[in-house]
Amino acid sequence: MSKRLHNTLIDLMVVVGADQNTSLIPFLNDNHPEGRDLFSTRFEQHVLASISSHTAIMFSNQTTESQLDPNYPHELWTQQNKIKGLKLGPKTPEPSDSHKNSTHRYRRKTMASIKLAVTMATRRVSTDRNMELQIISSEVLSSLRHFCFPDGYQVHSTEQKSHVHYLVLTDVTGARSYATCMTIYKKLYATKENKVGTDEKSYMLSGEPNVLSEECYTPYCVVLISKYPYFSVMKDCLSSLEAKLRMLYEDMEDFTMTLQTYAFRLATTPVPPSGTLAVAFHLDDITVTLSPALTPGRPVVDFPLSLPFNFFSIDKILEIFTCVITQQRVVFASCNYALITLVMESFLYYMLPFKWYGTYVPILTTNMLDFVGAPGYFLMGVNGRHKETISETEGLVVVDIDEGTVEICQSLDLPSLPDEVAQDFKTTYTNIIKNQNQQPVISPDKPSPLSYEDFKKTIAKNENEVNQKIQNIFLDLMVDLFRDVSQFCHPNENLFKKSKFLECKGEKPTRDASQASQFSQASGFFTTVCETDLFKKFLNDRLKEKKDYWTERHQLTDVHGVRNPSKNKSSSLQKLSSSNAPLYPLLSRSPCLEEYTLPSQFDHKDLTSFYQFIKEELEGRLAVCANRTSLSASYYYLIGLLRVAIGLTHEGLATLNQLTAHDNRIYPKEIIEKIIRLLNKDERNKLKNKYQSKQLQAIIANIEKTSDSGHHHHVIMEFDEIPQNDVDIIHFQQCIRRLQLGLIDIDTIESLFASLTIGQNHLHAKVQSQTFSDFYDCWKDNEIKCEEIREIPGIELDPNEDILKVSSSITTNFGVGQLGFTQRSVFFIKQGCSGFEYKVKFTEIEDIQKMSYFSVLSRNSDTLNITNKGEINGKKIFIAYLSTDRNLWYMLIDEMWKGKQWADKTREPGVVQQAAQNVLLLDAVVRSLQDNCGQKAQEGANMLAYFRNIFDNGIHGLNKNKNFGSQKLVHRINPNEKEPEKQTIESLLYTSGYACDGSDETEMPKLWCGMGRGKVRVFDASSWKLFDSTVNAIDRVLCLMKVGQNVWAGSRDHIIYVIDIKTRQCNQKLEGHTDMVCDMTMSTDGKIAYSASLSGEIIVWNTTNFSKVNNFILKTVSAICCHDGLLWCCANNKRTIVAVNQCNGGLMVSHSYNNREFDCFLISSTNELWVGFKHIGEVCIWNINNLNKVPLRTIKVTSRGINCMIQVGNRIWAGGKSSTVSSSRLQETEKQPLKDKDNTTSSTVALSVAKLHIIETREYTVKDIEAHGDSIRCMCTAENRVGIREVKIAVFVKLAGGLMPVLTLFSSQPCR
C-alpha cells in the first residue's frame, strides 16, 4: 500500500441523499408533516458513501456497522474491462415489521455514522503511522449533509435537471475546504409505511414498482471536497460523472464501482504549485487541466472574477468591497445558490492580502436563518426568497445579487473609500476591463475552434486574462490604500504608530473604534479599518517584514521604493491605467504554460507504480529544462511529494529542499511539517543527521519544541503611556521607542538614559517615573508650540523642514517677537507682522556668541549674538535678549550649527537629522532637570551635545588633512538609517541601471550593503535614498556578487541568498556549504560561479540554473578570484596564494612570502599580483608568470595593515587598518566683553584614524586620504553608471566609538 500523496485534487468524495438502502424519514423540524403528501414533505438526508484515495465506506440504515470495502482500491485494477465490484450491501429485503418500528433509530445513528466515516477513513493511521493524516474533520462532515440540500430534502413527481452549487467548509481550526456539489435525480418507487400507534409516516424506496408504490424522483448529491478552490475543474469532473451515473442508476454494482473509480482518480491526481507548470489528465472523453496559481502565496482562481461586475455597478462593487474590508455583518442573497458562493469568493479575492477570519458561511440552510442575528461580524449567504425575513434583523448589510442592490441598515454609519482612490479605480477599470470585454472571445483573424475542447480552451484563456487583470487592479487598489503602513511600522519593537498613520491619511487619531462616527464617511475609512482583525493580521505580516506579492507590488509601484507617505497616493492605479505604461510588470504570467499530461492510473499495476512512473517522467523533464528556474521549481515540488508518497520520505524531503535554490516562495512548509510529525523520534534524528539543511533543521526544531508557538502575536498599535514605576535601561529603551519621539538609535537612547540618571550607580541606575514624565511633558510642550508657529500667515517652510524650537516673546535688535530655528535656518517673527523679519541659513552664519552687557541703569543683560556673513535688513549681527534662557538657546543653536558644518564637511546628510534629534533631546532634558538641579541639567546637556563635543575635541579637524582634497569627497550615506542598533557593513556591491525589457522604463542603479546582523540594505544609487525593503539572512552577510539579474549574498550561516535585483526579494537559497561563505567570484564568461567557505570548501555553480556542478577542498580559504583560466585563492590560514584548476581544483601555483599573513590580494590588469599584509603596512607586487620569493616591488604605507584593495583605472585603492594619532584640542570658553575673561586651555586626545592609500600602478607613488575613524573593511567601484559620467568608489568605515558607520563616496579622479 502506498502512502498518501499530500497535494491531490480532492481529499474526499461524499454522496448524500436517499436510495434503496434507506428510508424516506420525515425531517424532525418539519412542521405538521402528517398533513403533507410524499412530494410536499421534507425528509432526512443520509450520507450514503465516503470515498478517499485509500478507503471506500458505504452506509446503510439496516446495520449498525458501516461497511469499509476491504478490496478498495485494489479491485479497481481488476475491473477495468467489466465493471463489477463491491455491492452496497445485501440485496434489499422486503420491509419487515421490526424494520418498520426502527426507522426512528436512524436519526440517532446519522451523526455516529458520519464520525465513523472519518474514523474509518483514517483507520490506517493507527496501524501505519506513515499512511495518511485525517483529511476532513468530523465537524465538517457532520454539517455537510445539510448544506447539500439547503432548502431541505424533497422528492419530485417529475424528473428534474441536475444542478450544481458550491460550498466553503470551515473547521474549528479555521482551515477551509472547498466543495463542489452536483445534485442528480434518480427514479425510484416509494411505498408508504405507517408506524403503529403514531401519525408519523415514512417511505421505503425500491427500484421496482409495486401495487402500493408511487413513482418519484429522489435527489442524491455527489460532493467533491478539496483543499484547493478548483470550483470549475470539479464541476467538469462531476459533469462527466453525471453522464455515466444516469445510465447506471439501475445497476447498483456498476453504480458503486463508477463512484469509486472517479473518486480514486481524482484523489490520486497531483495539483501543481504556483508557477508555469499545468497538470492535465483524461477523464473519459474530456481533458481536465489544473492550471497553477498566478502568484506564490495567492490561491488559485478557477472561476470568473468578473462575475460580480455582471450584477453590480462599479459604485456598488466598491461599496460592497468597503463593507467587507471594514468587517460588517454582510448577507448575500440570490435565488441561485451557486452564484452566492462564487460572488462571495470574488470579494475575498478582491481584498487580498487581507484575509477573512470571521464567520464565513456562503450558504445558510432554511433552518439556519436565525444565524444572521448572531453577534460579531460575518459573511453569509441565503436564498433570495428569505430576503425580507433577514432584512428585519438590525445591523445588516444585505447584498441582493439578483437585483444588483445593496441595502445598509440605517443604524450603521459606514465609511466610504477615499474619493481619489475610488476615482482612480473606476478609471482603471474602464480603461482595461471594459475594453477587454468589448473584444470578441474568438478573434476574427483566427481559425474557428472545431471541437468542444478547443472552444473550451479559448474561453478559458480569455477568462484567465480577465482574471489576471482584475486581480492586479484590486491589488493596486490595496497597495494605494495601505502603502503608507510600512512608514509607521517598527519591526524591532513590534510597534505600529497608528495615530501618525491616521494623521498621514488626514484622519483624527482615536483609540476607540466607536468614535469613528464622529468623522465624515470619507475621513473615517482608515480609522475603521485599523480596528479590524483583517488589518491586524496584515499589519502583523508587515511587522514581521514578510515578503509577498503585496510587498513586491508595493516596491515596483513606489517611486524608487523610498518612503514618502505624503505623495503618490494613487500611483499604482494611475500607472496601471496609463496607456503608455506596461501592464502588470510583476504578475504577468508566461504566455504559454508548460503542460504535463498524467497517464491513467489503471495503466499501471498499482498506485505505487503509477506514482513511480510519474516521478520518473518528471525527472526526465527536469533534466532538459534546467535553464528555466520557475519550471524546475515546479518539477522539484511534484517529484519531492511523489517520493514521499511511494515511501521514500527522506529522499522526498531532500528533493523538496531543492526548492530553496529555485523558488523558495513555493516551499511547502505546512506539508513538510505534517510529514515530519508522522515520523517517530528515531526517524527524525536520522533525518537531522542525514540532511544538514537549515530549513529542514528549523522545521524539526520547531516541531520538537514544547509548543508555545500558538500564542497570538500581539501588535502594539499605540503607546502614549508614561511608566508608573522607575525604569531600568531595558524598559527605558522600550518606552522611548514606543513613544511618539521618532526612532532613535541605541547609542542616543543610552546617552539620554545617562543624562536622566546623573549621580546614580550606572549598574543599578533607573529613571524615576516623575523624571520621565517631566521629560515627556517638556518634549510634547515644545512640539505643540512649534506646530502653532506653522499656522501663522506668511510662514513658509519647506515640507521637509521642521521647526525645532520657538521662544516666547523676547526683545531683539530687530524688535519684539519670537525667535526660532529649523534644521536649516534661524528665524525671527516680529510681533504684529506676517512672515519672517529675520531669517538666516546655518551655512550663512559666521559666529554664535554668548554676551553679557552691563549698564548702570539696569541689571546685566544676557544676550545671544548671531553674526552673519552678510547683512540682513542693514544689520550684520542679530542680538536676542534671552535673560535666563540664554545658555540653553546658545547650546541648542550651536549644536545645530556645528551639526550642519559636520554634514557639509563629511557630505553625510543624515547628520543634519541627527543634530536636530540632539537639539530636541537637549531642550527636553535641560528643562525637565533645571528646576530640581541646574548642575545635573548642565551635565546631562553635555552628554547629548554630540557635535559640540566632537568640535571641541578636534575630531572635526580630520577633514582638514592636507591630503584629503586630493580626491573629491562626493557623499556619505548611512546604511544604519532608522536602525535601533548600529551594524557593521561586511560587504558592498554596485549594480548598474538598465532598460527594462519591452518598456521605456529603466531599472535604477543600486548600492547593496551586506550588514553585520544579516540584513542586506539597498540604496538607489541615483539619489542615495534607502529602499524600504531588506533581505534578512540568519547571520552576517560576508560577500556579495552580481549574477545575471540577481545578487548572490554569501552569509556566515552557510547559505547563499539569491536576491532579484528588480524586486529586491530573496526567492531562492543555495545550500551546500558547511562553514561560513567568505567569498565568491565568477568565471570570465559568467557561466560558472565559485563560492568559498572558511573551511576551504569551494563549490562550483551553474549560473543559469543555480545547480551545483562540482566541489573541492583546499586548506582554509579567505578570498578567491578568477584570472586567466585559473581560480586564485588566499588559503592556508592566509599564508599562501594558490592557483587551482577551475574545474577540479587541481593545484597549479602555490606562493607564500616569509610566512607572513596575507589579508587581501588582487590581480591587476597588467598581470601583477598585489598582496596586502594583515599586520604590516606593506603592499608587495609580483608578476603572476614569475612568482619569485622576492617581490618586484614593495610599497610601504603608513597604516598598520591592509584590509582590502580594488583597482580603478591605473590606480590601486588600498584600505588600511586604523591607527591612533594625537590631536590638539582647543577649548574656548564663553566670551564676555565686560565681565568674563577669555580662558583657553589645550590638551591632547587620542583619535582613531584609518587611511585610504591610492597607489599609481605606473610610478608606484602613494597618496593618502585620512577620512575615516576606524578600519576600512570593504570597497567597491560604481562604474558604467546610467546617466552619470564620473566613476565613484564607496568605502566603508567600521564602527568605532560614537561614530556612525557610514559609506563614503569619492570620485576616482583628483579634484582640479
Q: What is the DSSP letter of 432?
A: I
pLDDT computed for residue 740 by the predictor: 62
Q: Return d(Cα 549, Cα 961) in angstroms, integer.
A: 50
Predicted confidence (pLDDT) at residue 126 exceeds the cutoff of 50 = no
Could you tell me the three cell numbers for 153? Answer: 430534502
Cβ 722 vs Cβ 772: under 8 Å: yes
Among residues 1131, 1125, 1199, which one has the least CA distance to residue 1167?
1125
From residue 273, alpha-carbon distances to 224, 228, 534, 668 in Å are 20, 11, 26, 9
Lowest mean pLDDT among 419-423, 673-677, 739-743, 767-771: 739-743
**Highest mean pLDDT of the ranges 241-245, 262-266, 974-978:** 262-266
| pLDDT digit string, tens, across residues 1145-1202 | 788 888 888 888 888 999 998 889 999 988 888 999 998 888 877 888 999 998 888 9
C-alpha cell at 851: 554676551
How confident is the model at residue 658, as a pLDDT? 85
Instruction: Give the amino acid at 490.
Output: H
Which of the pair, 908 or 1225, is modelled with greater confidence? Answer: 908
Least confident of 587-591, 805-809, 1201-1205: 587-591
Block residue for cell numbers 528555466: 628
**pLDDT for 1203-1214, tens place per residue?**
899 988 888 999
Q: Specify the 3-state DSSP secondary structure of 1173.
A: strand
Q: Could you read off the pLDDT of 1238-1293 as tens digits, one per residue?
A: 333 334 445 567 788 899 988 889 988 876 667 888 888 876 443 333 445 566 54
CA separation for the pair 1051, 1048 (Å, rounded): 10
Q: What percent of the chain has pLDDT over 70?
A: 77
Per-residue confidence (pLDDT) for residue 27, from 0 to 100: 79
Global pTM exceeds 0.85: no
The rounded distance, in Å, linking the Cα atoms of 216 and 610 is 43
Q: What is the SS3 assignment for 527-594?
A: HHHCCCHHHHHHHHHHHCCCCCHHHHHHHHHCCCCCCCCCCCCCHHHHHHHCCCCCCCCCCCCCCCCE
DSSP 8-state code for residue 43: B
Find the DSSP H helices in 351-497. 387-391, 419-429, 435-438, 452-482
Residues 6+ apart with CB under 8 A from 579: 431
45, 17 Cβ separation under 8 angstroms? yes
How far apart CA 934 and CA 884 sit, in angstroms, is 12
Read off the pLDDT band of 508 (50, 70, 90). Answer: low
- Residue 1040 pLDDT level (bands cut at 50, 70, 90): very high
Which residue would you say has higher pLDDT here, 930 or 1089? Answer: 1089
Q: With cut-offs at 50, 70 and 90, classify the pLDDT of residue 201.
A: confident
In sign, the C-alpha dihedral spanning 541, 545, 546, 548 is positive
Distance of CA 604 to the CA centre of its chain: 43
Give the residue from 469, 467, 465 showing the smallest Cα distance to 443: 465
* Residue listed under C-alpha cell 508595493: 554
- Consecutive H or E run containing 1008: strand 1006-1011
Q: Is the pLDDT of residue 966 over 50?
A: no
Decide: 890 and 850 in contact? Cβ < 8 Å.
yes
The single-letter DSSP state of residue 431 is I
How many Cβ atoms sit within 10 Å of the Cβ of residue 199? Answer: 9
Whether 1213 contacts 1275, CB under 8 Å:
yes
Q: Which range is least confidently modeled, 275-279, 300-304, 638-642, 755-759?
A: 755-759
How far separated are the first and last CA of the chain, in Å rounded? 82
Q: Which of 617, 578, 579, 585 is nearest to 598 (CA)?
A: 617
Quick check: 1097 pLDDT over 70? Answer: yes
pLDDT, tens digit (0-9, with 9 covering 90-100), for 604-645: 888 889 999 999 999 999 888 866 778 889 999 999 999 999
In this prediction, residue 1302 carries a pLDDT of 59
Q: What is the pLDDT of residue 1031?
A: 80
Q: Who has greater pLDDT, 312 or 983?
A: 312
Rounded-to-integer distance, Cα 1098 and Cα 1090, Å: 7
- The pLDDT of residue 1135 is 83
Length of the chain: 1312
Check whether the bond before 73 is cis (ω within 30° of 0): yes
| CA 791-796-801 angle, 5° bins | 95
Burial of 506 (0-12, 13-18, 19+ CB in 10 A): exposed
Residue 703 gets the label, from left (phi > 0), alpha (psi -120 to 50) or beta, of alpha
Query: Which pLDDT score, from 0 to 100, does residue 349 have?
Result: 95
* pLDDT tens digits, one per residue of 1011-1030: 888 889 998 888 788 887 67
Q: Rounded to 5 degrees, what are φ and ψ at 172? A: -70, -20
DSSP annotation string for 224-273 = EEESS--HHHHHHHHHHHHHHHHHHTT-HHHHHHHHHHHHHHHHTPBPPP
Q: Measured between alpha carbons, how far is residue 745 from residues 498, 736, 749, 975, 1018 in Å?
A: 21, 10, 6, 13, 19
Count of CB atoms situated within 10 Å of the CB of 701: 10
- Maximum average pLDDT range among 139-148, 206-215, 230-239, 682-691: 230-239
Lowest-pLDDT choice from 283-292, 313-322, 926-935, 1290-1299:
1290-1299
Please report the sign of the dihedral spanned by the C-alpha atoms of residue 234, residue 235, residue 240, residue 242: positive
The average confidence (pLDDT) of the chain is 79
pLDDT score, position 1230: 35
Kindly state the cell numbers that stand for 517: 462616527
- Would you state the pLDDT for residue 733? 81
Q: What's the half-sphere exposure (Cβ side, CA atoms, 13 Å) at 1256?
A: 8
What does 367-379 look like in DSSP terms, one character per residue? GGGGGGG-SS-EE
**Crossing angle of the two packed helices 419-429 and 314-325, in degrees rounded to 10:** 130
Mean pLDDT within 14-29: 83
Q: Are 803 and 820 in contact (CB under 8 A)?
A: yes
How confident is the model over 841-881, as pLDDT tens digits?
998 999 998 888 765 544 567 889 999 888 877 788 899 88
The conformation of residue 153, written as its DSSP 8-state character, comes to: B
Residue 512 burial (CB < 10 Å; 0-12/13-18/19+)? exposed
1131-1151: average pLDDT: 84
Phi-psi region for residue 166, left (φ > 0), alpha (ψ -120 to 50) or beta?
A: beta
Q: Are 987 and 1080 in contact (CB under 8 A)?
A: no
**In which residue are the cell numbers 433552518 written?**
367
Q: Which of 560, 1215, 564, 1302 is nearest to 971 (CA)?
A: 1302
The answer to whether 395 and 403 have CB atoms below 8 angstroms apart is no
Which residue shows C-alpha cell 472517479? 262
For residue range 398-414, what is the model confidence (pLDDT) as tens digits? 999 999 999 999 888 88
Query: Cα 739–745–746 angle (5° rounding)?
Result: 95
Q: What is the DSSP letter of 91?
A: P
**Per DSSP, what are the bridge partners of residue 1015?**
1032
Radius of gyration of the CA atoms of the chain, in A: 38
**CA separation, residue 647 to residues 3, 612, 615, 634, 644 (Å):** 6, 10, 13, 21, 5
Question: How many whole angstroms separate alpha carbon 1065 and alpha carbon 1046?
Answer: 10
Which of 717, 738, 713 has the alpha carbon at shortest distance from 496? Answer: 717
Element (H or E) spanning 1208, and its range? strand 1202-1208
> Which of 533, 530, 480, 478 lies closest to 507 in space, CA to CA?
530
Q: In Å, what is the CA distance from 1008 to each residue of 527, 653, 1011, 1278, 1280?
A: 37, 33, 10, 11, 16
- Taking 80 as the threshold, does the pLDDT of residue 944 lie above it? yes
pLDDT band with cut points at 50, 70 and 90 for residue 716: low
Instruction: Report which residue type is found at 970.
Output: V
Contact 117, 141 (CB under 8 A): yes
Which tens digits make up the pLDDT trace of 333-357? Answer: 999 999 999 999 999 999 999 999 8
pLDDT at 529 (0 to 100): 92
**Cα dihedral: 760, 766, 769, 775 (round 10):** 70
Q: What are phi and psi of 942, to 5 degrees?
A: -60, -30
Q: Which pLDDT does position 570 carry in this prediction?
A: 42
Within 13 Å, how many C-alpha atoms sit on residue 783's CB side? 12
* Amino acid 136: pLDDT: 58
